[in-house]
Amino acid sequence: MNTIKVGVIGMGKMGILHTGILSALDRVKVTAVAEKDDTLRNYLKGIIHDMNIYDDYITMLNREDLDVVYITTPVSLHAKMVKDCIRNGVNFFVEKPLAVNMQECRDICASVSKDLINAVGFSKRFADTFAKAKDIITNDVLGDLIYVKGTMYLTQVFSSSKGWRFKRSESGGGVLLELASHLVDMLLWYIGDIKSVVAVSKSYYSREVEDFVHAILRFKDDLIGYLDASWSMRNYRLPEINIEVHGSNGTMLVNDDYIRVTLDNINRDIDGLRLREGITTIYKQDLFKGVPIDIGGVEYTREDMHFIECIKEKRQSVINVFEASKVQAVIDAIYSSSYNGNWVEVSYYEH
């Protein structure tokens, strides 16, 4: 296959990150970017001379012969931009979350062609520790699963803040949608569909969006889980996810830095990894296999490498719009429950 030509919409933090990664991959070239901010666009024109820079993404779609488009804009713009890519028959990657609500996700899922390769940026699936923890669960090392607890905390919001993330009309929500959507995706990936939720949320510093969310989750087979998230917790310089999985044969704690497995009576080898009776700690350094370039974390590189390979091989991504819509279905149910105080059934897109 010839060089894959990429267009990027939005040159903020994530747009720059993906542009840097993609530019380092073999047979991939970022040929065009679209950025509406005049100052940033003029700056890019001054330092980048081998790609076309547009002030309007529709013009970019119409003029450029692109194999794939990366959408890295505020979430309120995602649905329209995705639909424009679909109408133009262009493969697309969109940063998480897919949209601001489940109705937008349903519209996207109903309109996307099965031949159009797409992905949503739930990058934690590609982090070394979280991926290996998935293998441990899949291989039934923990026995019958009994309980799961997931937390995501960040030290960020301690006063009324400005910007699109704190305007519900532009962001769709606060810490749950912006940050903890990663955690929801991991819990769905590890355990399976969530049937119903009951939740509370609190806006202490922000005026329009939630700063705290607490939810009880009922999975298939009535396994119960708990989700807790806040971007207003002290002593968390970076976003930190911790997931505890309890089973009949032991427990597992996983985060970005390590996996700690405590087993009662089993010794198992999983892809060369020896798990023994008692406590085994596996650090991310033990699992690292290298990437061509690391900008912001190896999971972003692996995520982009996976998607580009899907484009080359004409196969669907493991985290496509249908998978992402499941995350939004759970988030919508948590928001609904936090408003009315009752258990809410999760309504997934049927396809």
Q: Find where tokens 């930190």 sit.
A: 240
227 and 304 share a domain?
no
323 found inside a domain: no
CA separation for the pair 272, 212 (Å, rounded): 40
Residues 252 and 261 sit within 8 Å (Cβ to Cβ): yes
pLDDT tens, residue by residue, 76-92: 999 999 999 999 999 99
269 and 137 share a domain?
yes
113 and 147 share a domain?
no
Query: What are the two backbone dihedrals, phi and then psi, of residue 308, each rounded to the nearest 5 degrees?
Result: -65, -40
67 and 10 share a domain?
yes
Pairing outcome for strands 91-94 and 118-120: parallel
131 and 61 share a domain?
no
73 and 154 share a domain?
no
129 and 167 share a domain?
yes
Tell me what pLDDT residue 201 has: 97
133 and 220 share a domain?
yes
159 and 304 share a domain?
no
CA separation for the pair 40, 73 (Å, rounded): 14
The model's confidence at residue 269, banded by pLDDT at 50, 70 and 90, is confident
173 found inside a domain: yes
3-state secondary structure of 64: coil
When pLDDT is averaged across residues 233-243 and rounded to a whole number, the result is 96
Closest among 48, 55, 53, 54 to 23, alpha carbons compared: 48
267 and 337 share a domain?
yes
When pLDDT is averaged across residues 146-169 and rounded to a whole number, the result is 91
Query: Number of folded domains in the chain?
Result: 2
187 and 335 share a domain?
yes
350 found inside a domain: no
* H helices present in the chain, as ranges: 13-23, 38-47, 57-63, 78-87, 102-111, 128-138, 168-171, 175-178, 181-191, 284-287, 298-313, 321-340
pLDDT tens, residue by residue, 270-293: 877 888 889 999 999 999 988 999
CA separation for the pair 303, 44 (Å, rounded): 25
100 and 136 share a domain?
no
What percentage of the chain exceeds 90 in pLDDT? 85
55 found inside a domain: yes
Query: At residue 321, does pLDDT exceed 60?
Result: yes
321 found inside a domain: no
pTM, 2 dp: 0.95
**DSSP states of 182-251:** HHHHHHHHHH--EEEEEEEEE-SS-SSS-SEEEEEEEEGGG-EEEEEEESB-TT-SS-EEEEEEEETTEE
351 found inside a domain: no
Closest among 262, 302, 259 to 283, alpha carbons compared: 259
pLDDT tens, residue by residue, 102-132: 999 999 999 999 899 999 999 999 999 999 9
322 found inside a domain: no
Quote the domain boundaries for residue 12. Answer: 4-121+295-316
What is the CATH number for 193? Answer: 3.30.360.10
What is the CATH number for 87? Answer: 3.40.50.720
205 found inside a domain: yes
